[in-house]
Amino acid sequence: MTRRPVPVTADRKPPVHGDDGWVTRQGLRVPRSCLRKDSEVSLGASTHPRQIRYDLDALTRSRLLHILRPSWTLAEWSAAAQWGLEFFVDSADTCALTSGVTRHAHGPEDVSRRRRTRQLLAITTVQTDPRVPDLQVTPPILTLIHCLRSVLGDGHSRHVLRGTGLTDDGVRAVQLIDSLCRVFKIDPAELPAACAHHIDQDFLRTVVGFCDRGTDSLPETLMRLMVRSVAAAVTTEEFTSQLVVHADGSVSDPVHGGPTVPERIVARLDLGCANLKLALHYDGSGHLAVSTRDRDSRINTELVNLGWHVLRLTWGHLEDRELFRTTVLDGVRLCQQRRSER
């Protein structure tokens, strides 16, 4: 994650007249570049449990809080932002461990506080921010526990699409675990034991069964869950995230512990089925750039020449459940037919 510059000046003076490069928050000057797009702010507020509009990103808010309350330990979403989580956090509350009572924030300059109990005092905090070296945050597993309890309670929410076969809370939990397990480089299978006594174990074991540390974004998690739900009607084949296809036609699965293959890499599939030779990619807005389209075209061509069928899906596919279902099932059936003819 690219960290922003230190977001405040050393004083508490408001910007001088005509100084358009700064805004004032809680008496401190913040670069205007730290302001989020209004469309993103509105979207986040629409699903926030208390409809709070956060116009500053989570990382900037965490640094502001440290300047104002240096003895507080950043927790939950603020800690996750400091660790490098890119999703969820910018529309979530600023959070800290404090000596006061546990309560939710009620405005953009307020703080959601979690009481620093005797047990939490015994857990070593961590310094993560090279620009603010004395800023303290909760360690990885505790951060994950707090964030997961937040999305399962009334601390934070976000809109999810239907079509996965899971409840809304289940989808949010899987997306969060996928994201944080990638950030912390841990295996989701380790979580039930690590989170014992904090999260309902039956629920967590079920959720972890749908998680995957190889997913790079929230839409990719959603696509994987939807493919799993749709394709089950016609095949028992396994779909693997970040499956690597090599120039000699071989495949490898380094994310999940598979052996390394020395051959040149043709593609890292967002999701792939080696037995069917079916490749799925989620193309977000970043794929609209000319250089990215050229790269995607080269990848498609090489995959097709190796006998793969390629599906490039967009947010429009995810939103249209029938379009998604038809597209995936047609792709699976085509690959099944090709395999039977070999």
Quote the Cα angle for 110-116-122, to 5°: 145
In tens digits, the chain (342 residues) has pLDDT values of 344 444 444 344 444 555 578 888 888 889 998 999 999 999 999 999 999 999 999 999 999 999 999 999 999 999 999 999 998 999 999 999 998 889 999 999 999 999 888 788 878 898 888 888 899 999 999 999 999 999 999 899 988 898 899 999 999 999 999 999 999 999 999 999 988 888 888 999 999 999 998 888 899 999 999 999 999 999 999 999 999 999 999 999 999 888 877 889 999 999 999 999 999 999 887 666 767 788 888 999 999 999 999 999 999 999 999 999 999 999 999 999 999 987
CA distances from 193 to 198, 256, 326 (A): 10, 20, 39
- Contact between residue 145 and residue 123 where contact means Cβ atoms under 8 Å apart: no
The predicted pLDDT at position 120 comes to 82
CA distances from 206 to 16, 38, 186, 199, 210 (A): 56, 37, 18, 12, 7
Single-letter code of the amino acid located at 19: D
**Distance from C-alpha of 179 to C-alpha of 80, rounded to nearest angstrom:** 10
pTM of structure: 0.86
And the tokens for 54?
């956060």
And the tokens for 122?
């015994």
What CATH number is given for 218-341 in this structure? 3.40.960
Single-letter code of the amino acid located at 262: P
Q: What is the 3-state secondary structure (H, E, C) of the chain?
A: CCCCCCCCCCCCCCCCCCCCCEEEECCEEEEHHHECCHHHHHHHHHHCCCCCCCCECHHHHHHHHHHHCCCCEECHHHHHHHHCCCCCHHHCCCEEEECCCCECCCCCCCCEEEECCHHHHCCCCEECCCCCCCCEECCHHHHHHHHHHHHHCCCCCCCCCCCCCCCHHHHHHHHHHHHHHHHHCCCHHHHHHHCCCCCCHHHHHHHHCCCCCCCCCHHHHHHHHHHHHHHCCCCCCCCEEEEEEECCCCEECHHHCCCCCCCCEEEEEEEEECCCCEEEEECCHHHHCHHHHHHHHHHHHHHHHCCCEEEEECHHHHHCHHHHHHHHHHHHHHHHHHHHHC
The predicted pLDDT at position 18 comes to 52
Indicate the domain borders of the chain: 22-158, 218-341
The predicted pLDDT at position 288 comes to 65
Q: Residue holding tokens 């597993």?
A: 141
Cβ neighbourhood burial of 325 (10 Å; 0-12, 13-18, 19+): middle
- Contact between residue 6 and residue 63 where contact means Cβ atoms under 8 Å apart: yes
The predicted pLDDT at position 10 comes to 38
**Distance from C-alpha of 199 to C-alpha of 148, rounded to nearest angstrom:** 8
**Distance from C-alpha of 280 to C-alpha of 266, rounded to nearest angstrom:** 14
